[in-house]
Structure 1
Amino acid sequence: MTPLVMFDDELADGWAPFSLTRPCGELIFGRWTLRERLERVAGRRVTGHVTRPWLRRYAEAGAPASLGPDRLPDAATYWSSRAVPALDAAWGRSPANLWLAGQLAGIRLAPGGRPPRPDWFAAPRPEPGLADRTLPGEWLLHPWDLVSAGPARLADDLAATIGAGVRDDLPDGCRRLGSEAIRLGEGARVEPGVLFDAREGPIELGPGVEVRTGARLAGPLYAGPRSRLLGGALSRFSGGPFSFVRGEVDGVTALGYSNKAHDGYLGQAYVGRWVNLGAMTTNSDLKHTYGTVRVGPPGARTDTGLVKLGCLLGDHVKTGIGARLDTGTVVGAGSSLFGAEMPPTWVEPFSWGPGRTRERCRREAFIATATRVVARRGLEADAPFRGWLGDVWDEACRP
């Protein structure tokens, strides 16, 4: 099989706060990451990501590495991370310019075909001499599209895949509402008193997931391997692996290894990896005026066109107890927020401190904390992992 490579274009490069720390193909949209979805459609593994230069040492278990200009394979298929192919798309094998919804999504090169020049990935162009092939699917334009379109995508994904092995015999003491499918993965443990509300979409619990008494799970909902749903009303949630969730949660995607183990409302939000939300952390997802939400740094805010949008939290973000996040808040990676004052709606990466009087988290302190956090989940923060995080800090905090 020819190699399969994902790339971030100039729009994906601006997907703050997530594009600072990871290739955009490693973001969850619906049931899977964008990379995992492409692998299902193409029937092969992604070889690597073409992404931002400071992510050259990107190192995450189970994910392909970043590919520099000198490592791009010949005769490969190159596919945009923002292009979301339909699960039933006929992938094909012939060399072609690959189109999706009227835009070029990628190219499949002929045998011996040389990889594109480095500047091609920012604004890809059709390859002369190749046939045109159109695939069904959709495009993601902004990072908040992952929030607004996520629940509908999750419902469709689960409906397409959950049919095999469906369990209608729920554990003793649990109840069901609705007729959508429910599937419990191998080793999933559900205590008595859990309500499965399958009226609006399917529910899937991955292997080893634990659900505590007092949880109300409303579909569409997916909890990845070894996640723990600790209680509260959880609806339209997709997250994992190893995510801890409690409280009122609606319309949320969590990349995994995140911790919201206490009460508090989290709605219409996207949570990066290794995030820890202190007890009673709560976000607003609706303005008092019921107007559309604007997102971005001061002087460069963008109208999302969305009436409901909560927060976008980058990797390794932490909040203190009682933290309050306003509508449309974006918190940069590595930030630690605490104190009684509400932070601004745009928080630069590696910010540390209360409210609006924040300092920059020191490089060594950030990496040391990340190392301890990873060890608490039974993983090793090895030299490549620490090097990747150090490169990210250097990019975000350079003079």
Structure 2
Amino acid sequence: MKMHPVFFEDDTRIHLRPFTFTRPVAEIWLGMATNRLRWERILGKSCSVFAENHLQKKYPPEFTDDNLLINSAVLPYHGVAERLACLEKREALVWDGKIIAVRLNGNDAGQFVLGKAPPLRTLPFEGTPLLMRHAWELYSMNRDVFLLDYALFTKNAYSASFPSHVTCIGQQIFIEEGAKLAPCIINTETGPVYIARHAAIMEGALIRGPLYLGEQSVIKMGTRIYGASTFGPGCKIGGEVNNCIVFGNSNKAHDGFIGNAVIGEWVNMGANTNCSNLKNNYAPVRVWSYAKEDFSETGLRFCGLMMGDYSKCGISSMFNTGTVAGVSVNVFGAGFLPKFIPSFSWGGPSEMKVFQPEKAVETARRMMERRNMTMDAVDEQILLDVYNLTGKYRQKAGVL
């Protein structure tokens, strides 16, 4: 394909907050990869991103004379990727009023991402695309996306040898070279298991697929994991986990339960943190919506915690069903925390104050240093920009 692929975003970005405060939609983890990695695998070439203004230094936009603009929320399955190869210039593939993709020259592309679309010939997509819509739907999609990803990423690939000291039920397991598995039990009859290079599973872990364990991630001793769960690179996972997505470099390393949850990057959850995922009266869960700036009905019975990047919670923290915690939240103390915790909040159930941005950056920098990584000036500025973008939510929640 000669076209240069570029991801663009629509209003789905707002519905996927708090995760899209600090990354483009295309960089959200789901199944076995981000959407950017997934598309690049299928297209066989790198993709660029047109992101929000405060993210563009990290994700600089790039256009050529011939661009294929792809909606960041749309996955390349269900015939979508194959259909895009046939687009001509100024043709747009559309489903249910949403532009899936459009082919444009450089000048037209630059106008399109600013909301000034040139005249387009629209072509209906015959089928139902797989797309991200709300943050609270990501974990619900995880199984279906994982199965498609597993077929994509294992095609024409060969697994490393399976250790004889591991008990495996079923045969749907793929192990990259360099992964280390101690004696544990893995059930792949409930779904495939993929273990990336240099990942590790410690003694006594009990795992039911589907599961993706990212590069250099660790499942600790005695951990109980139910699929479909995704752990991005550099995570430490312990306790009991059910149908969760953890983006990367985050720690849920101790006893305690999280289920039906989405956890961002550089998060640390203290020992015995527990997150409710089902109401006592079995009623559908209401969740904070950044689009409505109020609580919204999800229609879901099971809905746990959604926690943005760089957030921390102290030992024995308790989260209500359907809690949304923003970016750089730092919470602790006895009792259930509020169901909406705005970005840069510091405190507990009885009182929340502003987590000053300089302190938040310092905390994030220290966490990264523990992994022998450095927080660069671009990521620091993104965090400061997110502080300014999220002031209205703190004011609405009375975090002053």
Same fold (TM over 0.5): yes
2:265 pairs with 1:273? yes
Moved over 4 A (4+): 71-74, 110-114, 163-169
Work out whether residues 55 and 392 of structure 1, in 8 Å CA contact, stay in contact via their aligned partners in 2: no
Which residue of the partner structure matches residue 219 of structure 1?
209
Q: Look up the SS of the partner of 1:138 in the other structure.
A: coil
Which residue of the partner structure matches residue 37 of structure 1?
38
Which residue of the partner structure matches residue 180 of structure 2?
189
Q: Rate the CA distance shift 1:299–1:272 in 2: closer, same or farther, 3 A.
A: closer
Which residue of the partner structure matches residue 327 of structure 1?
321
One-letter amino acid of the counterpart of residue 165, structure 2: G
Q: Rate the CA distance shift 1:110–1:163 in 2: closer, same or farther, 3 A.
A: closer
Q: Percent identity?
A: 29
**Bigger CA drift: 103-112 or 375-384?**
103-112
| Structure 2: distance between partners of 1:101 and 1:165 | 37
Q: 1:92 aligns with which of 72, 85, 90?
A: 85
Structure 2 residue runs without a partner (length 5+): 396-400
Q: Rate the CA distance shift 1:106–1:165 in 2: closer, same or farther, 3 A.
A: closer
Deviation at 1:253, TM superposition (A): 0.6
One-letter amino acid of the counterpart of residue 370, structure 1: A
Q: 1:286 aligns with which of 278, 283, 287?
A: 278
Q: Look up the SS of the partner of 2:135 in the other structure.
A: coil
Q: Rate the CA distance shift 1:45–1:7 in 2: closer, same or farther, 3 A.
A: same
2:28 pairs with 1:27? yes
- Report 1:1-399 matches (<5 A): 1-51=2-52, 53-57=53-57, 59=58, 65-67=59-61, 73-86=64-77, 89-90=81-82, 91-92=84-85, 94-95=87-88, 96-100=91-95, 103-110=98-105, 113-120=108-115, 128=119, 130=121, 132=123, 134=125, 137-162=129-154, 164-165=156-157, 167=159, 170-179=162-171, 181-192=172-183, 194-231=184-221, 232-236=223-227, 237-296=229-288, 300-397=294-391
Which residue of the partner structure matches residue 398 of structure 2?
none
Q: Look up the SS of the partner of 1:155 in the other structure.
A: helix
Work out whether residues 92 and 102 of structure 2, in 8 Å CA contact, stay in contact via their aligned partners in 1: yes
Deviation at 1:396, TM superposition (A): 2.0
Deviation at 1:27, TM superposition (A): 0.3
Counting matched residue pairs gives 383
| Structure 1: distance between partners of 2:367 and 2:132 | 31
One-letter amino acid of the counterpart of residue 75, structure 2: V
Which residue of the partner structure matches residue 62 of structure 1?
none
Q: Look up the SS of the partner of 1:187 in the other structure.
A: coil
Q: Rate the CA distance shift 1:94–1:116 in 2: closer, same or farther, 3 A.
A: same
| Structure 2: distance between partners of 1:174 and 1:143 | 35
Q: Rate the CA distance shift 1:9–1:227 in 2: closer, same or farther, 3 A.
A: same
Work out whether residues 331 and 348 of structure 1, in 8 Å CA contact, stay in contact via their aligned partners in 2: yes
Work out whether residues 274 and 317 of structure 1, in 8 Å CA contact, stay in contact via their aligned partners in 2: yes
One-letter amino acid of the counterpart of residue 115, structure 1: G
